[in-house]
Amino acid sequence: MKAIVQDTYGSPETLSLRETPQPSPSAREVLVRVRAAAVNAYDWHMMRGDPWVMRLAHRSTREPRARIRGRDLAGIVESVDDEVTTLRPGDEVYGDTGEEDGAFAEYVCVAENKLAPKPGKLTFEQAAAVPLAGTTALVGLRDAGKLQSGQHVLINGASGGVGTFAVQIAKALGATVTAVCRTRNAELVAELGADHVVDYTREDFTRGEARHELVLDLVGNRSLAEFRRVLTPDGTLLLSGGGVSRGGTLFGPMALIVRGRLTSRFVKHRIGEFSGSSNRDLLTSLTEFIESGQVEPVIDRSYPLERTAEAIRYLETEHARAKVVLTV
């Protein structure tokens, strides 16, 4: 099969399209014929091995443990392990490989509990855009943020992959949404349902008078003090460690999370962190939002598999909005 393979950490030039052996499903795994995959900031960080703590976490300082990049996918079940009970060959599915990667390929093996039936109203490309970004937004707002109807939430980085889902999910949960983005994306987030749009190139949202029960940071570009300034007295700040950093940093965008953990011990505001890793339950919740028309994936650009390096290079310019997907 064809796959995007990486032998050493580095730039997009370390990625190459190669013929590799087709995998076989292990216990409770499903072999999926990939029809589309999505590019995430996670893929960029894994490709670069940046921040350095990521290399340590994966017990490999010179080369990635998983040689085939990619997490998000949508496709058709090719075969299943004997222990799999919820899926069968021919089923259209979507999901997330987890930290095993491997989705930038014609075939990939995925744990049964990390897949769900593909929403019928979505194309494979649209479905592939959902898992990691959608579950991150859902976990941040509903589970970690405990967002309630009538509350006010500010989303910093509202036009990115996670942000476009977060705006829509927050509205579906009944919240009043303030979306922070750059000028060219203001119209997009407004169309997604944001009640207030702040163009950060023209206005400093940390200097405004509005206060929010929840601030969801997807960029990591402001200080904790600035974020806390726009919270209600008992508000919550959630940090995702998102964003793109260059230059072999130790903690990268996770540095703000480390500071948040320390600061949370001494202030009244609740400061936490969140991340997404798809599972069947989370995907089922997202499917309900999608099928009801409350959430729709937004795709910025689509590339064929052989142009994966170009797709990731576009993502790391930080100008990508919404999702970047690959067709296989």
The per-residue pLDDT for 226 is 94
Tens-digit pLDDT profile for residues 86-105: 999 999 999 999 877 899 99
Which pLDDT does position 254 carry in this prediction?
A: 63
Q: Is the pLDDT of residue 51 over 60?
A: no
User: Do 73 and 125 contact (CB within 8 A), yes or no?
Assistant: no
Q: What is the pLDDT of residue 211?
A: 97
Provide the residue type at 188 as one letter: L
Rounded to an integer, the average pLDDT of 19-44 is: 94
The residue ranking higher by pLDDT, 284 or 98, is: 284
**Is omega for the bond preceding 253 within 30 degrees of 0, making it cis?**
no
pLDDT at residue 98 in the model: 86
Average pLDDT, the chain: 90
306-325 per-position pLDDT tens digit: 999 999 999 887 667 899 99
- Could you give the CA distance from residue 190 to residue 188 in angstroms, rounded to a whole number? 5
Is 249 a residue whose pLDDT tops 90? no
C-alpha distances in Å from residue 324, one per residue of 70, 80, 97, 269: 12, 29, 17, 35
Q: Which domains does the chain have, with CATH numbers?
A: 2-130+297-327 (3.90.180.10), 133-273 (3.40.50.720)
The lowest-confidence range among 23-27, 149-153, 197-201, 257-261 is 257-261
| Mean of pLDDT values over 199-220 | 94
Report the DSSP beta bridge partners of residue 3: 18, 105
Cβ-in-10-Å burial (0-12, 13-18, 19+) of 64 comes to buried
| Residue 6 confidence class, pLDDT cut points 50, 70, 90 | very high
CA-wise closest residue to 167 among 218, 229, 94, 235: 218
Q: Which of 26, 47, 31 is nearest to 106 (CA)?
A: 31
Torsion of the alpha carbons at 218, 165, 12 and 51, rounded to the nearest 10: 30
Residue 256's pLDDT is 72
Q: Is the pLDDT of residue 84 over 90?
A: yes
Tokens of residue 157, six digits: 């980085």
Least confident residue range of 53-62, 121-130, 139-148, 150-159 = 53-62
Residues 216, 236: Cα–Cα separation, whole Å: 9
Please check whether residue 227 is in contact with residue 256, taking contact to mean a CB–CB distance below 8 angstroms. no
pLDDT at 138 over 60: yes
Q: Judge if pTM exceeds 0.85.
A: yes
Q: pLDDT at residue 67 above 90?
A: no
**pLDDT exceeding 70 applies to what percent of the chain?**
89
User: What's the CA gap between 79 and 318, in Å, rounded?
Assistant: 38
Residue 46: what pLDDT? Answer: 82
253 has a pLDDT exceeding 90: no
- Higher-pLDDT residue of 201, 62: 201
> pLDDT tier at 53 (50, 70, 90 boundaries)?
low
Q: Is the pLDDT of residue 247 over 50?
A: no
Q: For 20-29, 57-66, 204-213, 310-319, which range has the lowest pLDDT when averaged over its residues? A: 57-66
